[in-house]
Structure 1
Amino acid sequence: MSHNAASEPDHHPVSTAENWWVFRGPADLPPPPSWRGIAGPAGTPVAQEYLLSPEDVAVVNTALHLRRPLLVTGRPGTGKSSLAHAVAKDLGLGEVLRWPVNSRSTLEDALCRYDAVGRLREVSLERERRSPRGASGRLRYRSRGRHSDIGDFLRLGPLGTALAARDRPRVLLIDELDKADIDLPNDLLVVLEEAQFEIPELARLPEDQQNVEVLVTGSRERVPVSRGTVTCDNFPVVVMTSNGERDFPPAFLRRCVRLDLQDPGEEKLRDIVRLHLGDDALAEAEDLVQDFLQRAATQTLATDQLLAAVHLRITGADLSRDQLINTVMRRLDEAFPA
């Protein structure tokens, strides 16, 4: 992964105040900022260069060598989730598998989902197709189409897909793990330590049906599962993020490599703006950088708020400095008005 501003940012044409207004205005919809673009037929987010200190790069490499999950903590906007995409890009490991965690998330959902209702409906239709007569008593013709099997109704979740990878490891982003139920982190590490899991619906099949191909997350591709157990051939690169809203048990922390991302200082902020928007943008928006630094000292702000303000400034937004601040640089810890 890169920690130098090594690539030229994408530049967008500068608009004028007269043609900046899109909603209830005369302007056409402009292209998005470079970090908000979409590329590829699968809609994969455009990978960006990622700024990281040499010390933090060393921590990431430690996790990779030890094949340990990387637990990344930091305030919102410090780039925790983006780190997983930077690792995948740098190592050529393809699209990141993402598991967004909340209080209702379960380990089973991340491993595999079974569409029991769809399976029951298909079995009923199959019996009807095999019957020479339907419910009305009239003769029916048998379908010559492909008969579905249980594998059509099983889909591996992001964690299951990561563990089932065959040719190369996948990068798995487990986002906001601190929002999970209290037992989920330890349950998760049990699966990662064992590097395998059982699919109960397949384990119960008779002996002559022990080899089944199941769907994976994000595509119509399938992977073979033998005797109901998914076994890991390539241990995934696991990046877990936390906003620091809760403490994790020592047994969990012992099995992770921890990386604490600090809020960017003045020089790193300048590097981030320069990387995404160029030197000219940095010179044109110096007042916004200084205002962001002053406000961030006492308020919760995210770096992409500064990028948004600078992008609007250099592309000709018909907004005053105060309007920019009040629109895209509002504090994130601000309570909603009653």
Structure 2
Amino acid sequence: MRRLEMILSRLVWFVPTMAGLVVIVFLISNVIPTDPVKVLLGENATPAQIEAMRVKLGYDQPLWVQLARHFHDIVSGNLGTSIYSQRPISEDLATRLPATLELTLTAIIVSVALGIPLGVISALKRNSLLDHILRVVSVSGLAIAAFWLALLLQFFFAMKLGVAPLNSRIDGFGPTPVTGLMIIDSMLDWDMESLHSALSHIALPALTLALPAAATIVRFTRAGVLDVINSNHVLYQRAMGLPPGLIVWKYVLRNALISTVTQIGLIFGVLVTNAVIVETVFDWPGMGTFAVQSILQSDHKAIIGFTIWIGALIVIVNLLVDITHSFIDPRGSR
């Protein structure tokens, strides 16, 4: 019952959250001293052409009128047309969403696969040389800038060693599109060549996103294990003579992962934000590159559309994390 109330409360806050995002992004877009009409028409446009286009796009109206029109279009399901691509913004975002989802989900899987075991090991070997090394590495991982790490991995693995592609998403035409996720579609198509190509292309951008995220997961997993390992119920399991490995992975880890699972939801938002930079560096055809192109073109409607889609995606992921949290936490809702 409490779980259902939690879900309903999150859904109730969805609309005001999205509305707040639209207002903030709209105001920021209009503060930037760049005229999207001049960017669209180019330097050779006459004042009459600029004024006519401004009227056509509605930029001659007061800000509150433009904002009201934006809200009306959004509620109607119309995000407008992109100045950059001259196509419906929803169509552009829908085309690019699978690429961003595949990159982000792969990065989360890699970060969890690295972070949780290393966090457990660090806690079990507390104050040992291995623990100190893992703590230094995790702190260093948090301090690494995404664009610098992306360029470093590109230079070393793609340009020097030649073991990974420099950019793009896949070689050739790829598998038959079903989900839009190249890795899954390649497996569904049983196309091993496309699967190998998709994995090799996603390796460097996913690793760029995953390493800082894994550092966060290591720290929170370590702290969670240390909090639980000396609790009464764990001492009881030890007194019962259960194997140490069973105690750690079955009894300690479930309680220790409560804060880690919460952090994964927050990490998803950070990964999507960093994906804007990483996709640009690796020429990954996702929503991040679309956002950068929209910003450079001062395409206000496209920027707002991107913000709405990303905001909705983060809200949904955090809702799923809260539901997972309620199942993991033994004190969760019933």
Q: Which has the higher strand share?
A: 1
TM-score calculated relative to the size of structure 2:
0.21
Q: Which has the higher helix share?
A: 2
Larger radius of gyration: 1
Higher relative contact order (CA 8 A, sep 6+): 2
TM-score calculated relative to the size of structure 1:
0.21
